[in-house]
Structure 1
């Protein structure tokens, strides 16, 4: 076994790694993981110092909302999204109808997460999760994810050498954590494996299944940018405040060009992204569903706006 030596303070109070790993293996056995899977998964396991550093790095807004969107949603991503929708239209429409999710949102998630499968992460998922499970900061969470990752290997959905992902263990073209994989990944082509790494049908169906089970509404969009009147009560700009369209209209909220809001009485909330220039969005239930995928306002906005820009291809 090869284990990188650490001077990282977070490991100082832990029991020796070999002892810790021995207990983890016992727990994996008790959870029904086969001995060959356990042996192969940990035969050359490594603790990755960079993973700890990335986990320690506190997220902070260093870009304005406009800068973030310009960087994350370049024209090239939109053009590629239109092309991807057209190239995969048949399977996307089939999956979309089955799970009740518009194809443009499946493609938008795919684009925002991994640039349509081009950037899925190069870390060994087992090494990354072992590192984070051994670390002090979120040990219980990552230990659970690690045990589920072993289950995924045990069920032969992916080979150990191919089980790559982000530093936090998010996997494949849809960037599912192991727990999300177990709950939402789909073997759409029925080959016996839920392959979110290389099989597009499985990638699309898994993303759509996640959204569907999280409350997605097929007959609604995510939201729209709006204009607020002068002296608007900013305490109403809050996801906790939800009103039907007529009530927002009565308060002076309009489309960005000043025209009336849509007549359909969807219930929405107002959101102003932090770091923005006052841009305001009226968001609906599907926006909240995107937030279940990733709690970042910037992420949810980028998915919604990219879906709008992709449109029908």
Structure 2
């Protein structure tokens, strides 16, 4: 379940439904992209997209098939983009919303049916299968909710609309490039209103960088081919620095003397330090990773739940830069695998 939409590129910063894009590639796109298209007709805008795509070496027939799916700006896409809800949600409410009993039982059943392939992909990429399954569950409810918008229609509409035209125009050409490679048909390229695609909800730029086929060498299908979905998520996490065999984090109890200055992802200390000042695992006993470094986070403030998080927590955040999201992935994955 996505409460934020983001550009799926390691280290990218994002906001609701649209990536708050940063970095050299985006800056370059902003500089090179034509001015917002509001002063020209949609037909003229599409003709310009077609011409540029063909100049870039794309197959004219494929481009024509793709652009035939968008005859005029999609009003529902524009409405969704203009009326994104503001979420001022506590961690407690978010947790109750995304880690429901149904989400856990559905996830346990889904994982049990796919145990063998998840394990094989986990081993090949060196990424915990719980993290793969947790992202799969939060992004598309285990492949059930992947979006019904034609991605080309959504991206063309938002590129034409003008508010964030440079970014969406760049993603539109990446989507056309994916179609030109033959991985998916224009009609089969479905996703969210903002262009996030398939079961892992990759933007086209993330697809080009991280999508993988399993076994390797075939076309990459993140829409209907579950091994490709799992491999793509695993590849994303692996390329963002996942450390095999290490946990993402764990729930802890903190001492009353802990101060606000001692919490937060940037306050990284050896686990032995945290144990020494009275931080304890909720499940009891001693920490199983005394040689690791971690940070204590309290997503609802120092009087709320506390977690000791490690390097892999920050890797999950690169999929979606939110502490809530990364905690949700970690807890859901742990509950269903």
My pick for the range that moved more, 237-246 or 212-221, is 237-246
Aligned equivalent of 1:288, options 314, 319, 328: 314
Aligned match of 2:299 in 256, 269, 273? 273
| Corresponding residue number in structure 2 for 1:195 | 221
Q: How does 1:217-296 map to 2 (within 5 A)?
A: 217-256=243-282, 260-274=286-300, 278-296=304-322
After superposition, the Cα gap between the structure-2 partners of 1:48 and 1:25, relative to the gap in structure 1 and judged at 3 Å, is same
Q: Is the partner of 1:36 in helix, strand or coil?
A: helix
Give the CA deviation at 1:192.
Answer: 3.3
1:31 aligns with 2:59: no
- Matched-pair contact (CA < 8 Å) for 1:253–1:261: no
Q: Normalised by the size of structure 1, how large is the TM-score?
A: 0.89
Q: Specify which of 132, 135, 142 is matched with residue 168 of structure 2.
A: 142
2:233 corresponds, among 191, 200, 207, to 207
In structure 2, distance between residues paired with 1:202 and 1:295: 24
Provide Cα deviations, 1:33-61, integer angstroms capped at 9, x if missing partner: 11111111112414222322322345533
2:40 to 8, 15, 27: 15
Q: How many Å separate the matches in 2 of 1:56 and 1:228?
A: 42
Determine if contact 1:196/1:202 at 8 Å carries over to the other structure: yes
Could you state the TM-score of these two structures normalised by the residue count of structure 2? 0.83
CA distance in 2, matches of 1:211, 1:128: 27
Alignment-derived partner of residue 5 in structure 1: none
Q: Distance in 1 between matches of 2:303 and 2:81?
A: 30
Distance change >3 Å, CA 284–CA 56, structure 1 → 2: farther
**Match of residue 4 from structure 1:** none
* Alpha-carbon distance in 1 for matches of 2:315, 2:58: 33
**Native 8 Å contact 1:48 1:131 kept in 2:** yes
2:61 pairs with 1:61: no
Rounded to whole Å, the distance in 2 between the matches of 1:177 and 1:12 is: 22
Change (3 A) 1:257 1:190: closer
C-alpha distance in structure 2 between counterparts of 1:258 and 1:234, whole Å: 24
Partners of 2:302 and 2:57 lie apart in 1 by 49
Secondary structure of 1:161 counterpart: coil
The 1:82–1:257 alpha-carbon spacing in structure 2 relative to 1, beyond 3 Å, is: closer
Contact kept, 8 Å, 1:216 with 1:286, in 2: the verdict is yes
Give, in angstroms, the shift of residue 277 of structure 1.
6.0
Query: How far apart are the structure 1 equivalents of 2:265 and 2:220?
Result: 35
Residue 176 of structure 2 aligns to a residue whose secondary structure is: helix
Once the two structures are superposed, the pairs formed by residues 94-173 of structure 1 within 5 Å of their partners are 94-173=120-199
Q: Assess, with a 3 A threshold, how the Cα gap between structure 1 residues 277 and 236 changes in structure 2: closer, same or farther.
A: closer
Q: How many residues align?
A: 301
- Contact 2:132 2:230 survives alignment (8 Å): yes
The 3-state SS of whatever aligns with 1:225 is strand
**Does the Cα contact within 8 Å between 2:37 and 2:160 map onto a contact in 1?**
no
| Cα deviation digits, residues 177-211 of structure 1 (max 9, x gap) | 11111111112145732111111111111111111
Equivalent position of 1:93 in the other structure:
119
Q: Which moved more, 1:40-49 or 1:297-306?
A: 40-49
Determine the structure 1 residue equivalent to 2:325. 299
Asked if the contact 1:272/1:280 (under 8 Å) is kept, the reply is: yes
Separation in structure 2 between the aligned mates of residue 247 and residue 58 of structure 1, nearest angstrom: 43
